[in-house]
Structure 1
Amino acid sequence: MSYDVVALLAAEPGMVAVAHSLRDAGADLAVRPLDGGVVQLRDAEARVLATLEPAQLVESRGEVSRLLGAEAAVNLPDTCWWAEVRARPDAAGREAAHRVADGLALRLGGGVWTSGPGDFSLWEETGHPAVEFEAEEAFVVAQDREVVPLSSWITDAVSANALRGTVLQVLTPRSSRLTHGLRTLITQPMARWVVLDGKGGQFDGVSGLPLRWDRVHGYVPDARNGSAPEPACGFLDISPLGAHLLVDLAVRHGASFAPPLCRAVELVTGHLAGVLPAGWGPHEPALAPWDRERLVRLVRHRAPRTAVLQFSGHQDAGPPFTGGARVSWAPDGERAAERISLAIGFEDEGALPLGALPGLVEALAAENLLDVLHVRRARGRRDVTFEPRWHGLAAPVGMALGPDGVRRAGEEHALAGPLRGEPLGEAGARAIWYPAPAEATRQRAAEAVAAQLRHLTAAPRS
């Protein structure tokens, strides 16, 4: 796995500072530019030693402590730039990365953060700077970090491998945690979180099942002994974790020159966390301050291509939260659809703001920002990162149907389903909130929500 270095700089690293810092790594090293302003350092045998990303301005400063730890955020420069180097984890790679990062910090002011030492036995030369090694149908990104984010390294690797149809597998030590964005990505079909158990083996960080390497599929469940595999030792730890409120919202915007993109994010976080997001970006770290006008300009500029955005909450105001928004466009380039997913962390289930959900549904309906809403609760750390341990299955809290869905189904039919619905909002913009049975088990609650969805789907179309 790679060795990562982040330089937190007091001034923007211009071409001259970058050139001098690359030269510091060794006059005999070759510099190779890649797409997007990425630069690689290679040795005399053309092996990659280190890869430097373009620096990003840190405008949402809480991202530094969220992803790098509280110590990295101490004495940050008033103006701060994040410059990340990903290095080959042998002595030559680590030395090259430090010479580049230390050279930038020496010239521009600032400090340097480093990951764990990495593991050179888990490294192969591949065609992408984020990918350690590959199988025929999977590629592996290995990270030795306390918190592993959905970084630009990973999102670019996913995009680069999309045409090949290969899937992402993230390999980490047992001490690592994933952000909500990355854990959501690796729970997609065939993706996987591979955790080193410290004893020469590995297990799935979501299910706990032991894994083995397969040259075709990458890491796969290890069932070679013929018996049902047991979860890794300690994976079923049921000690207290805290609680997550998980929100998934679908929004359909009608034809409009300026659809109110991500306004729904503001309503959800405002009602359930009490604050708007602190930062956003196309990946993590989400370093730009929350500014919906700026965000919409970026999304419109990318249209009709789909835009995927990450956002996070404040570190010192309201409960921690993090999430993502996916904006896709109809062929006409005007009608847009949003899929918003976020997790909000609390000390325990008693702190979940369940009483605020009807008000949220009514507010979303009033601004025509609700198609379908699903809300669940689950065990989880308050900081909304995920350890490689059993979190249990998320339990439904309730669902909501927006005004268009209510009109299509007919309000009488929508209210006659197996879940008792609560009409909310003014006539013509009425939504229905369906709370899951409060005393039901997780399975019973899930069955009740599924039955309600079947009932709504069976409604006659007007």
Structure 2
Amino acid sequence: MTDGGPPPGESGFDVATPLAAVTLCERPVVALTAWLTRALVYCAGTGRTLQLVTPPASRLTVPLVAALRETGAQWVVYDPDQRAYYDGMCGVPMRFDDGAFRHDDPLAAAVPGPPVPPVASRPLVASAYAAPPPPTGRQLRVRLEVKHEATSWTRIGDPIETLFQELTGHPPAGWGPVEPVDRVWRTADITRFCREEVPTHSWVTVTGAGDLPAMALLEVTRVADGVQESIDVAVGYPLPDQQPPLDELAGLTDRLAGAHQLSWLYAETCLGRHDLTRPAHAEGIPLPIALAIGPGVTEPVPAGTTATLPPRVRIGPAHRPTDWYQLSRGDSPAGWEALIGLLTGIRTGTSGLT
């Protein structure tokens, strides 16, 4: 894998088949570089799956993890001790078969939409993935979608600026289409970039300032009814027992819903590295905190379901109401039961909540 050069064709990968494009990388930390960004775009355009192969010691940055998830790309880890491959996201064994790396367990296939609970019965490679070192910190993850009208005064970046300010005490420090970022944070510059340079589909990496590490991937897409911002934010806390500002999330979501057309917001916490990089071994199980659902996205099914829904709180302005569901305090897997009950008891519309 290289950082420069033209957009990768089949010759730019270590292995290229009609199904997959495989690239090998042995760096300690793998970021969403210009080359990988072009590789993801190339694979999307040719119907291939990008499969990034690293050694077990490699870690991925927040924007790269988000980009892999959004595009259906895969992180494949080679374990030299066992001479075996496994999925770096979940530890499920993989093998190269018929033109691509595939999961040995079909249940491990990626599922689009909101997070799903880990499946304890999935087989894991008996390696560093299943026997991780003690976690060094805690992370808060917030994912959301907002929509705008496609007008000359539409401004991109305001929601993510609000998130960084509220969660870290500082606005974002920098941004760029790839890592490492090289531009000072200004929403006017981001809006110009998304409108003029990459008007159909843009990825923007965002970095924070201050004592708490914060990173995000902002995805801007032209859709039939306007412009959609998809945001994935991670904030790191140095101690495993340190709790994020959970009591402030409802108020923060209320302000976002008042200022923007919020489609949905999901928040979770988990044990993990303070620097926010993702290792190729198991960390803490993500624990759902809350889910907010905007107007016109989904609606509860009032009858014919046995699901026990968590309490609903109406937030946002009267003309654009949003439903807030507190799933847990981020300290128990019981939040998964509440989330599953909620997703079972609603009828899904056209958003990413599928």
Query: Same-fold call, TM > 0.5?
Result: yes
Matched residue, 1:393: 285
Structure 1 residues 258 and 375, CA gap change in structure 2 (3 angstroms)? same
Please tell me whether the aligned partners of residues 217 and 233 of structure 2 are also in contact (alpha carbons under 8 angstroms): yes
Q: Does 1:382 align with 2:265?
A: no
Aligned residue number for residue 31 of structure 1: none
Give yes or no for the alignment of 1:354 onto 2:246.
yes
Q: For residue 452 of structure 1, what is the aligned residue in structure 2?
A: 342
Matches within 5 A, 1:262-301: 262-301=157-196
Distance (Å, rounded) in 1 between the aligned partners of 2:348 and 2:263: 17
Report if aligned partners of 2:44, 2:71 keep a CA contact under 8 Å in 1: no
Aligned-residue offset at 1:198 = 2.9
1:293: how far off? 0.2
- 1:307 maps to which residue? 202
Match of 1:44 in 2: none
Q: Is the 8 A contact 1:345 1:382 kept in 2?
A: yes
For the structure 1 residues 145 and 458, does the alpha-carbon distance in structure 2 shift closer, same or farther, using more than 3 Å as the test?
closer
CA contact (8 A) 2:234 2:276 kept: yes
Greater helix share, structure number: 1
Bigger radius of gyration, 1 or 2?
1
1:209 to 67, 88, 92: 92
Distance of aligned partners of 1:260 and 1:134 in 2 relative to their CA distance in 1, 3 Å threshold: same
How many angstroms does 1:429 deviate by? 5.1
Residues 304, 331 of structure 1: 8 Å contact kept: no
State the match for 1:61 in structure 2: none
Q: Distance in 2 between matches of 1:409 and 1:220?
A: 36
CA drift at 1:357: 0.4
Structure 2: which 5+ runs fail to align? 106-121, 350-354
Query: C-alpha displacement at 1:379, in angstroms?
Result: 2.0
* TM superposition shift of 1:162: 2.4
Give yes or no for contact 1:274–1:318 (8 Å, CA) kept in 2.
no
Cα gap change, 1:364/1:230 in structure 2, threshold over 3 Å: closer, same or farther? closer
Displacement of 1:454 after TM fit? 5.0
CA distance in 1, matches of 2:270, 2:125: 20
Q: Which amino acid aligns with 2:310?
A: L
State how far apart, in whole Å, the 2-side matches of 1:167 and 1:322 are: 25
Distance 1:363 1:144, change over 3 A: same
Tell me if structure 2 keeps the 8 A contact 1:368–1:429. Answer: no
Q: Which among 230, 233, 236 is matched to residue 130 of structure 2?
A: 236
2:315 counterpart (417, 424, 430): 424
CA contact (8 A) 1:142 1:171 kept: yes
Report the equivalent of 2:27: 145
Report the CA distance shift for 1:362/1:349 in structure 2 as closer, same or farther (over 3 A): farther
TM-superposed CA distance for 1:145, in Å, is 1.2
User: How far apart in 1 are the matches of 2:39 and 2:348?
Assistant: 41
Partner residue in 1 for 2:14 = 132
Aligned to 1:364: 256
Paired amino acid for 1:141: T
1:177 alignment partner, one of 59, 76, 90? 59
Question: Does structure 2 retain, via aligned residues, the 8 Å contact 1:246–1:342?
Answer: yes
Are 1:344 and 2:235 an aligned pair? yes
Q: How does 1:403-418 map to 2 (within 5 A)?
A: 404-405=295-296, 418=309
- Structure 1 residues 176 and 288: alpha-carbon distance in aligned structure 2, compared to 1, 3 A threshold: same
> How many matched pairs?
325
**Change in 2 beyond 3 A, CA 1:330/1:204:** closer
Shift of residue 201 of structure 1?
Answer: 3.5
Amino acid paired to 2:125: P
Instruction: Write the distance in 2 (CA, Å) between the matches of 1:147 and 1:303.
Output: 27
**Quick one: distance in 2 between partners of 1:183 and 1:436?**
24
Could you tell me how far apart the structure 1 residues matched to 2:43 and 2:343 are? 35
Whether the 8 Å contact between 1:155 and 1:283 is mirrored in structure 2 is yes
Q: Output the CA distance in 2 between the equivalents of 1:428 and 1:346.
A: 37
Does the C-alpha gap of structure 1 residues 126 and 244 become closer, same or farther in structure 2, counting only changes over 3 Å?
same
SS in 1 for 2:125: coil
CA 1:230–1:185: 2 relative to 1, 3 Å: same
Tell me if the contact between 1:196 and 1:203 (Cα under 8 Å) persists in the aligned partners: yes
- State the alpha-carbon separation in 1 of the partners of residues 68 and 201 from structure 2: 20
Superposition RMSD on alpha carbons, in Å? 3.3
What is the distance in 1 between the residues matched to 2:287 and 2:330? 12
Alpha-carbon distance, 1:389 to partner: 0.4
Contact 2:66/2:217 (<8 A) preserved: no
Identity of aligned residues (%): 28
Q: Structure 2 length as normaliser, TM-score?
A: 0.80
How many angstroms apart in 2 are the aligned matches of 1:222 and 1:356?
42
- Secondary structure class of the residue paired with 1:127: helix
Equivalent of 1:327 in 220, 233, 236: 220
2:309 and 2:102 map into 1 onto residues whose CA distance is 40
Which residue of 50, 53, 68 maps to 1:186? Answer: 68
Letter of the 1:235 partner, please give it: Y
- Asked whether the equivalents of residues 218 and 232 of structure 2 are also in contact (C-alpha less than 8 Å), the reply is yes
Report what 1:197 is aligned to: 79
Shift of 1:303: 6.3
Q: Structure 1 unaligned runs (5+)?
A: 7-33, 39-124
